[in-house]
Amino acid sequence: MATPTLLDYLHQLRKQGVSHVPIDDPARKVLRELYTRGSARSPASRPPKSQSSPTPPPPTSITATGSTPAEKIASLASLADTWAPLKNLRSLRETMVFSVGKPDADLMIIGEAPGFHDEQQKEPFVGPAGEKLDQILKAMGLSREQVYISNICKFRPATKNQTTNNRPPSPEEMATSLPFLKAEIDVVKPRVIIALGASTAHGLLNSDKKITELRDSWHQFQGIPLRVSYHPSYLLRPDDGLGEKRKVWEDMLAGMEKLGLPISEKQRGYFK
Contact footprint for ligand URA (CB under 6 A): 111-115, 118, 124-125, 129-130, 151
Strand 148-151 and strand 99-101: pairing? antiparallel
Closer CB to ligand URA, 115 or 179, in the complex: 115
Least CB distance to ligand URA at residue 151 (A) = 5
Least CB distance to ligand URA at residue 44 (A) = 44
Distances (CA, A) of 117 to 113, 141, 212: 11, 25, 28
Distances (CA, A) of 200 to 106, 193, 204, 237, 246: 19, 12, 6, 19, 20
Closer CB to ligand URA, 192 or 201, in the complex: 201
Kind plus residue range of the DSSP H or E element containing 101: strand 99-101
Question: For residues 119-143, b (16+ Cβ closer than 10 Å) or e, as one string?
Answer: beeebbbbbebbebbbebbebbebe
Closer CB to ligand URA, 124 or 190, in the complex: 124
Least CB distance to ligand URA at residue 53 (A) = 38
Closer CB to ligand URA, 98 or 249, in the complex: 98
Closer CB to ligand URA, 124 or 179, in the complex: 124
Question: Is the dihedral angle over the CA atoms 30, 19, 92, 201 positive or is it negative?
Answer: positive
Least CB distance to ligand URA at residue 75 (A) = 21
Name which of 147, 149, 157, 237 is nearest 199 in CA terms: 157
Contact predicate 99/73, CB 8 Å: yes
- The residue with its CB nearest to ligand URA is 111
Least CB distance to ligand URA at residue 117 (A) = 7
Q: Report helix angle 171-188 to 198-205, nearest 10.
A: 70
Classified as helix, coil or strand, 47 is coil
Closer CB to ligand URA, 6 or 193, in the complex: 193
Closer CB to ligand URA, 106 or 119, in the complex: 119
Least CB distance to ligand URA at residue 124 (A) = 3
Name which of 176, 218, 186 is nearest 85 in CA terms: 176
Taking the C-alpha atoms of residue 214 and residue 210, their distance in angstroms, rounded to an integer, is 6
Least CB distance to ligand URA at residue 150 (A) = 8
